[in-house]
Structure 1
């Protein structure tokens, strides 16, 4: 499997491609990483150094990759945080050209906007860009519950209302939706959930909720789910593998006391997921 991953990069820590590439490689995926920024660290520190890569330069890199004859080999395009409208246009164009070269390729978009606690933390034009132009060309999207609500103009809470919101999102274009950070009011105490939906049905998985915010964990989640889905075309299996790996990664990080993901130390959890969580069919 070969994945074209168009995302940010940081020297210290693990977000964007600096979070997604190694776990993908560890499960045997050949990754073609294209960077949209090259920062010293993620912006959660409040200060960072390094450049935003101009969209025209990102487009040039993608053109060079295409000229090497790589696009027909791409099984999936993966994108995450989008810093501006310009880079969105570049990603949309790259997806179009990859699919022209390989019609079986899938596009997985993590529509990063914000979360329920912090609200939106992207530029004001990004949510509309994602909703109106990017999501409609995606095959897989991986929003959290807050982002799903913005995309669909709803307020998902219960399983029923979240499923209804997913149906609206799927009507926009994507056939596969992974909803992360599902926090329904009637869930068991001390757990957090993920919901995966495709044409075959809907599945929910619950994991213990750790009192810890790990920057980059969403990027790992989107990457692993995409790869497992492309391999198996089974949303339940992809969900179980992803939940297993990501929980163990976050738990290892939490127990270490470190701020940054223990991405390398946790590598066996990607290569051989413990499959300690079972997905429950909810539709």
Structure 2
């Protein structure tokens, strides 16, 4: 399997491609990483150095890959945080080029916009770009519950309303939706859930809620789910493997006392996920 991953990169820590590439490689995926920024560290530190890559330069890298004749071998295009409208145009164009070369290829979009605690932290134009232009060409999207609501202009806060919001998102274009953090009032305390929906049904997994915030965990989640789903076509199986791997990664990171994901130390959790959580069909 080959995945073209168009995301940010940092030298220190793990977000964007610096979070997604190694777990994908560890499960046997050939990754073609294309960088949209090359920063010293993620912006959550409040200070960073390094360049944003211009949309024209990102497009040039993709054109160079195309000139090697490998776009027809790509099984999936993966994108995450989009810093500006120009990058969105480049990604949409790259998806079109890949699908022209391989009609079976899919596009997985992590529509990064914010979260319930922080609100929307991207430029005002980005949610509109995602809603109107990017998500409609995606096959898979991996929003958190807040982003799902923002995309669909709904307020998902129960399992039923979250499923309705997923249906609204799927009506926009994507056939598969992974909601990476579902919170609802009737769930047991100190738990959090992940929900996957495709044409075959809907499945949910519940895990303990860990007392931490880990930059890059969403990037790992989107990458692993995309790879497992494209390989198997089984949303329930992909969900179970992804949740297990990410939970063990987060648990190991919490135990380490470090701020950054313990990505390398957790590699066996990607290669051999314990699948310790029950996947329940809800529709």
Q: How far apart are 1:180 and its partner, in Å?
A: 1.1
SS in 2 for 1:78: strand
* Length-normalised TM-score, structure 1: 1.00
1:82 aligned residue: 82
1:1-283 equivalences in 2 (<5 Å) = 1-283=1-283
How far apart, CA to CA, are the structure 2 residues paired with 1:127 and 1:208?
30
Q: CA deviation at 1:6?
A: 0.2
Distance 1:185 1:127 in 2: 27
Provide TM-score, normalisation by structure 2.
1.00
Unaligned runs of 5+ in 2: none
Displacement of 1:165: 0.3
Q: Secondary structure at the match of 1:32?
A: strand
In 2, distance between residues paired with 1:201 and 1:184? Answer: 20
Q: How far 1:181 moved relative to its partner?
A: 1.2
Q: Secondary structure at the match of 1:49?
A: coil
Q: Aligned-residue CA RMSD in angstroms?
A: 0.3
Distance 1:188 1:26 in 2: 34
Distance 2:54 2:126 in 1: 16
> Which consecutive unaligned segments of at least 5 residues does structure 1 have?
none
- How much does 1:189 deviate? 1.2
Matched pairs, number: 283
Regions of 4+ moved over 6 Å: none
